[in-house]
């Protein structure tokens, strides 16, 4: 095996496969990356048996072959090389890394010792989504997810196709985020599908997806694996075995009171007022007397209190809602819209939406809701 490659290209590949290297594994071979040259392709691969990453490198192939090399050693060498042009050559179970004034010999392992990278067998059906839009959806939804050993089904993100929609959903039971792609924003050969992708896989996708305009990501799914494929990279992951919570009833379909406020001003207000929030992380948001502003308030007997007023357009107020400020901040932060709409009901979740953007909905359970004096309409 022998290739000639640019340092920047090799470094891009090493960065891409890094998170799937089993650094904490008891199996030494999982701390390696597999370098494989075959069929006109140069590939770097890594796996920790839960997640696997393949990356296609651009370089000149002199001779085919494959070898498993310790990731940490190869990465350290490449990062510190001065020369841009690098030659990688295999001799028995050793990899020689050389430039015009440097040479290193790395002890590797036989490629057959490296674990078999799993594959998705159902390649006839797929989902195609613009990479930039997909990354935006992931970043908006993943904030509501968390790891849970007790409830593994919420330790991931729901991918669901049905009714001509693709929905990405995550919840930690205190808040929920849902992103909806309509048919004009994705293509699918699935009639319906519902799977849970591990949070770690989602976080890895967010790290590596470039979001280049015009590029697509293709998703393949079978009974227990999911494959995300771009032009240069493949991320293969196990699916979470479980049933995602029935979340649809949590999202309010009608809003009694709504406040529209500048997103940046609300972000600043939450951060400022949280400085006096008690250990329970409470802050209160209430509508002003004339429905033209919001008051954000916090108090603690040991810290003090503060009150911040920001301009807002309030419909059908007044209201007073007590939030965990961190949960609220996360929901406001994921949007890019100029204005945010807070939707309040007499009891139950509060919605956060970007004005003019119906794709993403963030729902947060308040600690309590007070002083809603508009009676609930009896529809019976």
If you average pLDDT over residues 307-311, what whole number do you get? 92
User: What is the count of structural domains for the chain?
Assistant: 3
Looking at residue 23, its pLDDT comes to 81
Query: CA–CA separation, 324 vs 319, rounded Å?
Result: 17
Percent of the chain residues past pLDDT 70, beyond the cut: 96
Helices (H), 39-190: 71-80, 131-141
- pLDDT tens digits, 61-115: 999 999 999 999 999 999 999 999 999 999 989 999 999 999 999 999 999 999 9
If you average pLDDT over residues 346-361, what whole number do you get? 90
- pLDDT tens digits, 23-48: 877 889 999 999 999 989 999 999 99
Report residue 379's pLDDT band, with 50, 70 and 90 as the boundaries.
Answer: very low
Of 335, 180, 211, 358, residue with least CA distance to 262? 335
Report residue 346's pLDDT band, with 50, 70 and 90 as the boundaries.
Answer: confident
96 occurs within a structural domain: yes
CATH code, domain with 141: 3.10.150.10
375 occurs within a structural domain: no
Is it the case that residue 371 has pLDDT exceeding 60? Answer: no
If you average pLDDT over residues 297-325, what whole number do you get? 88
What is the CA 128 to chain-centroid distance, rounded? Answer: 18
The residue from 86, 113, 140 where one domain ends is 113
Is it the case that residue 210 has pLDDT exceeding 90? Answer: no
Looking at residue 374, its pLDDT comes to 45
Is-contact 304 284, C-beta < 8 A?
no
What Rg do the C-alpha atoms of the chain give, in angstroms? 25
Return the residue matching tokens 């909806």.
Answer: 180
Name the residue range of residue 75's domain: 2-113
Q: From the CB of residue 87, how many other CB atoms can be counted at a distance below 10 Å?
A: 18
Helices (H), 235-274: 263-273
163 occurs within a structural domain: yes
Residues 156 and 207 in one domain: yes
The residue from 54, 79, 113 where one domain ends is 113
Residues 156 and 261 in one domain: no
Buried b (16+ CB within 10 A) or exposed e, 172-196: beebbbbbbbeeeebebeeeeeebb
Helices (H) then strands (E): counts for the chain? 6, 27
- pLDDT tens digits, 105-122: 999 999 999 999 988 988
Residues 238 and 136 in one domain: yes
Query: CA–CA separation, 353 vs 140, rounded Å?
Result: 11
The residue from 88, 113, 138 where one domain ends is 113
- pLDDT tens digits, 234-252: 999 999 998 999 998 888 8
71-76 CB contacts, 8 Å cutoff, 24+ apart: 71/14, 71/17, 71/18, 71/21, 71/23, 71/31, 71/32, 71/33, 71/46, 72/23, 72/31, 73/106, 74/14, 74/33, 74/106, 75/14, 75/18
Residues 136 and 238 in one domain: yes
For the record, the structure tokens of 169 come out as 């959903």
Looking at residue 377, its pLDDT comes to 40
pTM for the model: 0.89
Of 128, 135, 129, residue with least CA distance to 207? 135
Q: Which of 21-25, 87-91, 229-233, 294-298 shows the lowest per-residue confidence on average (mean pLDDT)?
A: 21-25
Secondary structure of residue 301 in the 3-state scheme: coil
Of 170, 232, 176, residue with least CA distance to 201? 170
Q: Cα angle at 143 between 353 and 135, to 5 degrees?
A: 85
Looking at residue 29, its pLDDT comes to 93
Is it the case that residue 214 has pLDDT exceeding 80? Answer: no
- pLDDT tens digits, 161-196: 998 999 999 999 999 999 999 989 999 999 899 999
List % helix, strand, coil for the chain (3-state, nearest 5).
25, 45, 35
Looking at residue 212, its pLDDT comes to 57
330 occurs within a structural domain: yes
Is it the case that residue 49 has pLDDT exceeding 80? Answer: yes
Query: CA–CA separation, 256 vs 375, rounded Å?
Result: 10
Length reported for the chain: 380
For the record, the structure tokens of 29 come out as 């071979």
Residues 319 and 339 in one domain: yes
Is it the case that residue 254 has pLDDT exceeding 80? Answer: yes
18 occurs within a structural domain: yes
Percent of the chain residues past pLDDT 90, beyond the cut: 70
Residues 267 and 241 in one domain: no
Is it the case that residue 52 has pLDDT exceeding 80? Answer: yes
Distances (CA, A) of 258 to 203, 239, 286, 292: 33, 38, 11, 12
């Amino acid at each position: 095996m022998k290739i000639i490659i640019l340092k920047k290209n090799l470094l891009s590949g090493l960065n891409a496969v890094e998170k799937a290297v089993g650094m904490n594994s008891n199996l030494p071979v999982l701390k390696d990356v597999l370098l494989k040259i075959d069929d006109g392709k140069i590939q770097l691969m890594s796996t920790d048996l839960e997640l696997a990453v393949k990356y296609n490198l651009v370089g000149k192939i002199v001779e085919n072959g494959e070898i498993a090399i310790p990731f940490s050693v190869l990465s350290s060498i490449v990062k510190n090389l001065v020369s841009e042009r690098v030659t990688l050559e295999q001799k028995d179970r050793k990899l020689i890394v050389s430039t015009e004034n440097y040479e290193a010999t790395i002890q590797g392992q036989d490629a057959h010792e490296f674990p078999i990278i799993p594959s998705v067998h159902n390649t006839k059906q797929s989902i195609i989504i613009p990479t930039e839009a997909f990354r935006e959806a992931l970043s908006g939804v993943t904030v509501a997810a968390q790891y849970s050993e007790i409830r593994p089904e919420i330790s991931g993100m729901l991918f669901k196709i049905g009714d001509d929609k693709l929905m990405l959903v995550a919840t930690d039971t205190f808040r929920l985020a849902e992103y909806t792609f309509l048919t004009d924003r994705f293509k699918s050969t699935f009639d319906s599908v519902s799977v849970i992708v591990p949070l770690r896989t989602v976080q890895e996708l967010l790290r590596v997806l470039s979001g280049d305009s015009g590029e697509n990501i293709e998703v393949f799914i079978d009974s227990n694996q999911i494959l995300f494929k771009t032009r240069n990279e493949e991320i293969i992951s196990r699916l979470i075995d479980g049933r995602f919570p029935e979340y649809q009833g949590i999202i309010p379909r009608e809003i009694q009171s709504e406040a529209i406020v500048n997103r940046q001003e609300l972000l600043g207000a939450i951060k400022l007022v949280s400085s006096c929030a008690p250990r329970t992380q409470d802050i209160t948001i209430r509508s002003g007397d004339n429905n033209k502003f919001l008051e954000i308030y916090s108090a603690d007997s040991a810290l003090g209190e503060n009150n911040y007023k920001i301009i807002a357009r309030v419909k059908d107020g007044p209201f007073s809602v007590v939030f965990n400020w961190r949960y609220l901040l996360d929901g406001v932060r994921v949007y890019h819209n100029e204005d945010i709409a807070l939707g309040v009901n007499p009891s139950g979740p509060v919605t956060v939406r970007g004005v003019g953007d119906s794709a993403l909905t963030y729902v947060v359970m308040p600690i309590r809701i007070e002083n809603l004096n508009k009676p609930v309409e009896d529809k019976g």
